[in-house]
Chain A
Amino acid sequence: MADEVRVTQIPVEVIGEGDILRVTQIPVEVTGLGDVLRISQIPVEVIGLSDLLRVSQIYAEVLIAVATEVRGIRWQVS
């Protein structure tokens, strides 16, 4: 009973904008008289794939000079 399964490569394709990981194919090779192939988990780690720039808000701040308010001037004619 050859029950050994070797997964030698999992080609993956990342599409879209860095958020989607799609596994398109998992080639496995079962040698001998494999009866059952059970894959319970395929951990995949995606690193360095974010090429997305997301902007949620833009605002401009404009520095404007405030006119000097002159208070308390009292004219006196003599």
Chain B
Amino acid sequence: MTLLFTESFDWTTTVAQLLRKWTSTSFSTTNSSTIGAYGATDNALRVLRDAGSFDYMNWLKGLGSSPSTLITGTRFKQDNIAVTSGVEYLDGSTIHVGWYSNTNGSISVRRGGAGGTILGTTVTGLLSSTVWSYIEFKATIHDTTGVVVLKVNGVEVLNLTNQDTRNGANAQVTSLQIYNIVANTVGTYWDDIYICDTNGAVNNDFLGDVAVKRLLPSGAGNSTDFTPSAGSNYACVDEAAVNDDTDYVQSTTVGHKDLYAFGDLPTGTWVIKGVAVNLQAKKPDAGSRTARALTRTGATDYEGGDLSVGIAYANLQTFFETNPNTGVAWTHSEVDGAEFGEKVQA
């Protein structure tokens, strides 16, 4: 299984909480990142300089692994394409390669950062101000046989082989960075992000133009072992924006499960590429505690891998890339009928 990360930007409205899922961000007090209803139907991340002239505002996501080939997809829009934004692949603090928007609507792939060596540039006019585009980027890091492929809205717009894509000692990618030069009152918007590598049998290449739809609990599921802070269990964990200790469920007992019915996907016929279950979880004090995410489908409970729980709330993400009951891709009705939840593992 190869999905490494998904981000809908629909689970919080604060930058501080967003950093539970992202590794770091660089911004000054005169810059702002906000999460709001900037997307077509739901929330997106907006980066905007609210005073002064130009500055940088980046969001970094550590992968927890170090593949030599990485694939990412992002929905992307700018109020004005006169400013440069892009996605960079890093090894530590070294920027190997990245794609960068240009003022004429083209996209360049560079080695070594936004001011680095241009490896290739697309035709002009691919990007327009105020128009969303879905940009996918695959790069293999190598000194001589590096590969770069770029797609916009599902169409290949750049394909480079035998490239020097390695800008540091290691031919690996350890993090992804959303790069923004932000200008006064000119917003850049990001949404529907996926990251995957080339391992596994599914999701090991471009996924195409995908939307990341967030679903929330809507009722009790097959197991209700945890103790709610008040009221019913599912109502303590169903907030569209996480509310931390305002309400919660908790348990000390190994093996306890909580499962919840979830709302349905939007009306339509959807091809499902995968499901990520996200827990906002913590343990209140020192000590060892692990959890697992659950899904219940086909009248059977299935568990993800062990999740280490810290003393502060963190976003713990588990992927069920295929339906564990069938071993093949989820169907729309299977997702609608599935329950999701958590378990005290150890």
Contact = CB atoms under 8 A, between A and B. Distances in A.
Interface residues of A, number: 25
Interface residues of B, number: 71
Contacts of B273: 63-65
A64 B211 contact: yes
Interface stretch (B139-147, B181-189, B257-265): B257-265
A67 to B, nearest CB: 8
A55 B237 contact: yes
B137 interface: no
A56 B281 contact: yes
Interface in A49-65: 49-65
Given A49-B285, A50-B286, A66-B211, A56 B245 contact: yes
A34 B6 CA distance: 69
B283 A53 contact: yes
Given A52-B284, A64-B273, A59 B11 contact: yes
B179 interface: no
A68 interface: yes
24 contacts: A17-B227, A17-B250, A50-B283, A50-B284, A50-B289, A53-B281, A53-B291, A54-B245, A55-B226, A56-B237, A56-B244, A56-B248, A56-B280, A56-B282, A59-B216, A61-B214, A62-B215, A62-B265, A62-B335, A63-B274, A64-B211, A64-B273, A65-B209, A65-B271
4 nearest A-B pairs in the assembled complex, by CB-CB distance:
A50-B285, A63-B273, A57-B280, A50-B287
